[in-house]
Structure 1
């Protein structure tokens, strides 16, 4: 017999799907800004060993300097990205969803077991509720990263008005490096997230759209028991 198991509230699904295009536009517009001034490379003794975007890239794809356009999009969608993130965090606190998201003491050890299972080096995955240990760590980390991007972005955008924030970030260049590094982190998170979704299967993906998952009786009972235990802790 099949059972319907509720997984994701409507608010969580809205915040999740709104965040995807917002973050995509932020990364795209951020690249327009970066391509207008492309300073980062790995150099040693005056020799460049690695450059994120070599000159051949700009020549092949005819990349133009679109600084003004990039800044316009970036600073408009920055506020939408920040508002969506703030409302998401506020909802998780009010609704109690944070219990499923925050890492536990055992999460760091169990995350390695999840990784080994995903790599098919371990037969069974550690027990989980709505999210496994690796997801708890990743989803919490990306919220912290979002806050870091917002603060460093404001420091770069208004270095005079927010000189105290710029000082906390370690200066203009350091703030820009942190901001750039966090962008790389989002890209890595996105790739890993997609891989996890593919590994979890179609039911897991569709549950983030419709909010529930259709499963068998035994699985439904296990999920219900884990949910009760989670709420109790």
Structure 2
């Protein structure tokens, strides 16, 4: 017998899917801006060993000479990014869903067990509710990262008008580095998130679109052994 189980609300699904193209455009436009001052490298004694975006990469993606376009897109979509984030946070607070998302004292220990289970090192997965411990930590971290991107972005965008934010970030140069590191964090999160979705299967992915999941209703049955008197 098939049963329909409600899994994700409309508000959660809306903010989740809207955020994906917004962040994609933000990262793309941020690369157009970064091209104008490509300063972050790994080097020693005046010799550069590694650049995050070498010339062939910028040329392949047609990034050079598009600074004004990148700034226009970045400063426009940052408002959509902010509004979408505020809507999501308000929804989780007023709906009480933050209880399902916020990690607890045992989450870090259980997250390690989840990782071992995903790597097929541990056979039994730790007990979970709607989200496992690793998901709770990751989803909470991405909210904090979004807040950090907003603060550092404003500190870079208007360092004079938002001089207090710039000071809290450690100055303009530090805010720029922090903003860049957070962007790299988003990329890693996307990669891990997509891999986890693939491993979870189509049914789990479908529930994020439709909001429900179709499962088999198969209650556990306890088989009582036959005693010698009943034979």
TM-score normalised to the size of structure 1?
Answer: 0.91
Larger radius of gyration: 2
| Shift in Å, 1:53 | 1.2
Q: Tell me what 1:100 maps to.
A: 100
Q: Which runs of 5+ in 2 are unaligned?
A: 221-231
TM alignment of 1:134-145, pairs within 5 A: 134-145=134-145
Q: 1:105 to 1:185 in 2, by over 3 A?
A: same
Helix, strand or coil at the partner of 2:50: strand
1:87 aligns with 2:87: yes
Q: Tell me what 1:67 maps to.
A: 67
CA displacement 1:110-142 (0-9 Å, x = unmatched): 111111111111112111111111000000000
Question: Does the 8 Å contact 2:30/2:74 carry over to 1?
Answer: yes
Q: 1:97 to 1:218 in 2, by over 3 A?
A: farther
Q: Tell me what 1:132 maps to.
A: 132
CA distance in 2 between counterparts of 1:214 and 1:143 reads 29
Q: 1:95 to 1:60 in 2, by over 3 A?
A: closer
Q: Tell me what 1:112 maps to.
A: 112
CA distance in 1 between counterparts of 2:62 and 2:150 reads 30
Q: Which runs of 5+ in 1 are unaligned?
A: 221-233
TM alignment of 1:128-207, pairs within 5 A: 128-207=128-207
TM-score normalised to the size of structure 2?
Answer: 0.92
Helix, strand or coil at the partner of 1:215: strand
| Shift in Å, 1:218 | 4.6
> Of Structure 1 and Structure 2, which has the larger fraction of its residues in helix?
1
Cα RMSD (Å) = 1.5
| Shift in Å, 1:219 | 7.7
Helix, strand or coil at the partner of 2:173: helix
CA distance in 2 between counterparts of 1:62 and 1:146 reads 27
| Shift in Å, 1:59 | 4.8
Helix, strand or coil at the partner of 1:112: helix
CA distance in 2 between counterparts of 1:164 and 1:62 reads 36
Q: 1:62 to 1:193 in 2, by over 3 A?
A: closer
